[in-house]
């Protein structure tokens, strides 16, 4: 059983005339790292939102850990809580993801929901503030920090809960070259037999360095089936 299974998934936004995804089928397991690429508007973010349980197929099925993910199930608090504990999603625009009054509260929020003790929350928060070089701005509100700092804060807030599936939509956006190099090395270290990583990337060098599988969505919102061809078509 694969961690993620997509069976002929299609999706159409309300009031749109065409599908944003067309019959997407894929099987992805823990221990692998996938790069999703394709031209602007091909459906990468839509696919990621489905995988993160924020949108739901209009046709076909999506299973995570063997369980079909549906809008009805996600309305159940316990089911939704368990799902989001296992699946972490970094938005392309960090501004839409940050909502707490300080950087340290953003990082602490997820583990507070998981029932960690006060001491554990404090220690884990300090660890990830240090890891992402955010200690000096820990008391700042997220809307008062730079784009790169927002990206690092959002990523730290996701990773502190240690999700089994990590979905990263354009993770290098708003990062300078040094931070991009650091993030690439960091993500390489995150790869493990217990974790599935998916990311969208337009940069051939960084994608090739990190990914071991490639999924290319064409302008018709469909998958190019051959993994070797998809590898060559990273933009």
pLDDT at 234 over 60: no
Burial per residue of 46-59, b for 16 or more beta-carbon CB atoms within 10 angstroms, e otherwise: bbbbbbbbebbbee
Query: Domain ranges in the chain?
Result: 4-97+164-229
pLDDT of residue 181: 87
Q: Which of 43, 44, 74, 71 is nearest to 57 (CA)?
A: 71
Average pLDDT, the chain: 89
Angle between helices 147-159 and 118-131 (to 10 degrees): 140
- In angstroms and rounded to an integer, the radius of gyration of the C-alpha atoms of the chain is 18
Residue 148 · residue 174 · CB < 8 Å: yes
Say if residue 235's pLDDT is above 90: no
Lowest pLDDT segment from 36-45, 106-115, 173-182: 173-182
Report H helices in the chain: 44-51, 71-74, 77-86, 103-113, 118-131, 147-159, 177-190, 204-210, 227-232
- How far is the C-alpha of 170 from the C-alpha of 206, rounded, in Å? 12
Q: Cα(7)–Cα(25) distance, rounded to whole angstroms?
A: 5
Whole-number pLDDT of residue 230: 57
- Which of 13-17, 21-25, 155-159 is predicted with the least confidence, judged by mean pLDDT? 13-17
Q: Write down the pLDDT at residue 1.
A: 64
Residue found under tokens 């990190």: 210
**What is the model's pTM?**
0.90
The first and second tokens of residue 18, run together, are: 């065409």
10 burial level (CB within 10 Å; 0-12, 13-18, 19+): middle
Give percent of the chain with pLDDT exceeding 70. Answer: 94
Q: Is pLDDT above 80 for 206? A: no
Strands 165-168 and 196-200: what pairing? parallel
Question: What's the average model confidence in pLDDT over 197-216?
Answer: 84
181 backbone dihedrals φ, ψ, rounded to 5°: -65, -40
Nearest by Cα to 21 from 7, 1, 35, 2:
7
The torsion angles phi and psi of 71, rounded to 5 degrees, stand at -60, -40
Q: Is the pLDDT of residue 219 over 60?
A: yes
Four-CA torsion 70, 74, 75, 80, nearest 10 degrees? 170
For 4-97+164-229, CATH number out of 3.40.50.1820, 3.50.50.60, 3.40.50.300, 3.40.50.1220 equals 3.40.50.300
Highest mean pLDDT among 3-7, 82-86, 179-183, 222-226: 3-7
Which residue would you say has higher pLDDT here, 234 or 184?
Answer: 184
Q: Give me the mean pLDDT over the 23-34 stretch.
A: 95
């Amino acid at each position: 059983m694969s961690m993620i299974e997509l069976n002929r998934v299609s999706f159409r936004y309300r009031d749109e005339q065409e599908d944003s995804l067309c019959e997407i089928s894929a099987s992805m397991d823990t221990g692998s790292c996938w790069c999703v690429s394709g031209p602007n508007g091909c459906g990468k973010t839509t696919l990621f939102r489905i995988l993160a349980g924020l949108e739901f197929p209009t046709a076909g099925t999506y299973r995570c850990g063997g369980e079909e993910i549906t809008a009805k199930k996600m309305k159940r608090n316990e089911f939704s809580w368990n799902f989001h504990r296992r699946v972490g999603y970094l938005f392309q625009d960090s501004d839409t993801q940050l909502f707490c009054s300080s950087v340290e509260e953003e990082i602490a929020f997820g583990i507070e929901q998981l029932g960690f003790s006060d001491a554990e929350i404090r220690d884990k928060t300090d660890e990830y503030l240090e890891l992402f070089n955010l200690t000096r701005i820990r008391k700042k509100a997220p809307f008062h920090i730079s784009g790169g700092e927002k990206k690092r804060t959002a990523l730290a807030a996701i990773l502190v809960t240690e999700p089994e599936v990590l979905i990263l939509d354009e993770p290098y956006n708003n990062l300078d070259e040094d931070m991009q190099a650091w993030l690439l090395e960091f993500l390489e270290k995150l790869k493990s037999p217990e974790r599935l990583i998916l990311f969208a990337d337009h940069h051939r060098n960084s994608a090739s360095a990190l990914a071991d599988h490639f999924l290319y969505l064409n302008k018709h919102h469909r998958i190019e089936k051959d993994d070797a061809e998809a590898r060559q078509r990273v933009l």
